[in-house]
Amino acid sequence: MQGDPNHKEMLKFAFLNGKPGQSFEIYYHSEEFKATKEIVDTVERKSGRMLDVGSGIGVTSVAFSLQGFHVDAVEPETGPLTGRKGMEDLIEEVSKSCSLQLAMHTGYLSEVNLPPGYDVAICRQVAHHFADPVRDLSQIRALLRPGGKAILIRDHVIYDDEDKERFLREHPMQSFYKGENAYKKEDYVRFAEEAGFEVERVISFTESPMNYWPSTAEQIAIVGENVAGRPYSFVLKNPELPITGEAEAP
């Protein structure tokens, strides 16, 4: 697939072309990162820690480390295109000119020992791959501080079984590794609530470049949601601890 010129642009913007430095520069200056940062900036920084679940080659991890977060990047893959080797190459390149606070952890979240207290957890194009979404979201919530937020970014949404069949048929990667998946919007909300989250915001496909970049708002205005597996994003809040010890009103 990498040698096919028909897939060159798709791989470039999916950060799958084997050029982590280029991928980072594209992401860091993208409308998607700008929109994601706007949401992250609404979260009060108490610990200054961010969890990046399914970090891939680390473009989001490095981007938010440059914003002052100490980032723990968790990724089970180890190769150069989607995993640890790609992240190592990216960190080496960026570290030549910038100081990063970033730790890599190879494995699934359940296999990695991390202390709780994160302000933010980022899951970019990850939640639709969870083997057990409620379990995995529960693990993420357990690592957040009270009031911390998880941001699920660019998760595929389908309307019904027929729409899912269309999505799997049209997704360019599905024929290569058979690992794609999608859920209804209501399913993501249910998974999050069953995991103990408060669903603070559902961001539809056409609402934000978090979902439709590298397309433009003008292009999306023409097609609307008529896109197979249109990505949505979700902002989830770990509930605040109840306030105790206050005197009851008479």
pLDDT at 246 over 50: no
Mean pLDDT for 211-225 is 96
At 176 the pLDDT is: 65
Kindly report the CA angle at 121 between 225 and 63, in degrees rounded to 5?
A: 85
So what's the pLDDT on residue 244?
57
Task: Give the pLDDT band of residue 247 (cuts 50, 70, 90).
Answer: very low
**11 or 158, higher pLDDT:** 158
Task: Please check the confidence at residue 249 and state whether its pLDDT lies above 60.
Answer: no
For position 250, what pLDDT does the model report? 41
Average pLDDT, the chain: 92
Residues 6+ apart with CB under 8 A from 87: 20, 55, 56, 57, 58, 61, 73, 75, 104
Calpha distance 11→15 (Å, rounded): 6
pLDDT-wise least confident of 31-45, 55-69, 75-89 = 75-89
Range from 19-23, 40-44, 172-176, 198-202 carrying the lowest mean pLDDT:
172-176
Q: Is the pLDDT of residue 77 over 90?
A: yes
With 90 as the cut, is the pLDDT of residue 172 above it?
no
Assigned token pair, 39: 């949401």
Q: How confident is the model at residue 130 (pLDDT cuts 50, 70, 90)?
A: very high
Question: Has residue 105 got a pLDDT over 80?
Answer: yes
CATH topology for 5-237 is: Rossmann fold (3.40.50)
What angle, 0 to 180 degrees and rounded to 10, lies between the N-to-C axes of helices 20-28 and 84-94?
70
